[in-house]
Amino acid sequence: AEFVAGEVDTPSEAVSLADLPAVVHGADLVISATGSPEPVIEPEHVADAGRLVCIDIAQPRDVDPAVADRDELTLYDIDALEDVTRRTRESREAEAREVEAIIDEELDRILRAYKRKRADDAISAMYAGADRVKAREVDRALSKLEAQGDLTDEQRETVSDMADALVGQLLAAPTSSLRDAAGEDDWETIRTALRLFDPEFDAPPEVPGGTSAEESGPEIDGPPESIAEELDD
């Protein structure tokens, strides 16, 4: 009792059982933790006390449950404290589940963005390669046509528009497939497309300072290990 009285950050004192009836009337809080086999605080001990809180942490109980019949007295025993602990734990668990749900939602958003980025990389490489081929073939076709006679600007534009339309139609299906592959975590399809349409895909790019990505850090080829584990789940 003396140890507890010294630890709490409020004026308090340890008293003997013999002094209890004399001091309980001036107390706001009574904490009891004796080894008595019988209750040491009976209803008559607190009959004239004002508003009072009793905390009984003894086993067996030190405070007769009947003292709680007084409207101005609040009694907490081991069972009540365990109930408070249980409710606090349940509240924290509920809050933890809410936090986990927020984390899962944010992780899903990051994963979706990552997959879109990888698909967009493949699609950009595909269109860049197709544009190079288109430009080369349009120039070749225009050169052959000009050899047969002068071409007007309208004719040149017609040839260029036709090439653009062909590229768009030919790449529409692969574009859709790559976006589907990203949504289905089909990284092999995306990597294959990158290698097909971007000859530099396997070569580490140069980074500022004269070093390569291979020297400065590993190339990202598919999702990082932590993300891959999440996708596998």
Structural domain including 129 reads 114-232
The whole-angstrom separation of Cα 121 and Cα 110 is 16
* C-beta separation of 61 from 32 below 8 A: no
Do residues 151 and 214 share a domain?
A: yes
Alpha-helix runs per DSSP H in 152-186? 153-183
For residue 116, what are the contacts with CB-CB under 8 A and spacing of at least 6? 182
Q: What is the pLDDT of residue 207?
A: 40
Q: What's the pLDDT score for residue 221?
A: 44
pTM passes above 0.95 = no
Cβ-based neighbour number of residue 56 at 10 Å: 27
Task: Using the predicted structure, report yes or no on whether residue 40 has a pLDDT greater than 50.
Answer: yes
| Residue carrying structure tokens 């879109």 | 116
Among 187, 195, 223, residue whose Cα is nearest residue 114: 223
Domain boundary among 76, 104, 137: 76
In this prediction, residue 96 carries a pLDDT of 94
Q: Which domain CATH number covers 64?
A: 3.40.50.720
Report the run of H or E that residue 148 belongs to, with start and end.
none
Residue 108 in any domain: the answer is: no
What is the band of 100 on the pLDDT scale with cuts at 50, 70, 90?
A: very high
Percentages helix, strand, coil for the chain (3-state, rounded to 5) are: 65, 10, 30
Residue 201 banded pLDDT, cuts 50, 70, 90: low
Q: Is the pLDDT of residue 120 over 50?
A: yes
The reported pLDDT for the residue numbered 198 is: 63
pLDDT at 43: 87
Q: In this structure, what token pair is assigned to residue 9?
A: 């950050």
Number of separate domains in the chain: 2
Q: Which amino acid is at 103?
A: I
Over the Cα atoms of the chain, what is R_g? 40
42-46, 178-182, 209-213: lowest mean pLDDT where?
Answer: 209-213
Q: What confidence category does residue 199 fall into, taking pLDDT thresholds of 50, 70 and 90?
A: low
Question: Residue range 131-139: average pLDDT?
Answer: 90
Any domain includes 94: no
Please give the share of the chain, as a percent, with pLDDT higher than 70: 84
Q: What is the CB neighbour count within 10 angstroms for residue 30?
A: 23
CB-based contacts of 173, cutoff 8 Å, min separation 6: none
Last residue of a domain, one of 76, 98, 126: 76
Among candidate residues 76, 101, 130, the one where a domain is terminated: 76
For CA atoms 130, 135, 140, 141, the dihedral sign is positive
> CA separation (Å) from 65 to 36, 41, 79?
15, 9, 12
Is residue 97 included in any domain, yes or no? no
- Same domain? For 118 and 14 the reply is no
Who wins on pLDDT, 148 or 196? 148
Mean pLDDT, the chain, rounded, equals 79
Closest CA to 75 of 99, 104, 106, 39: 39
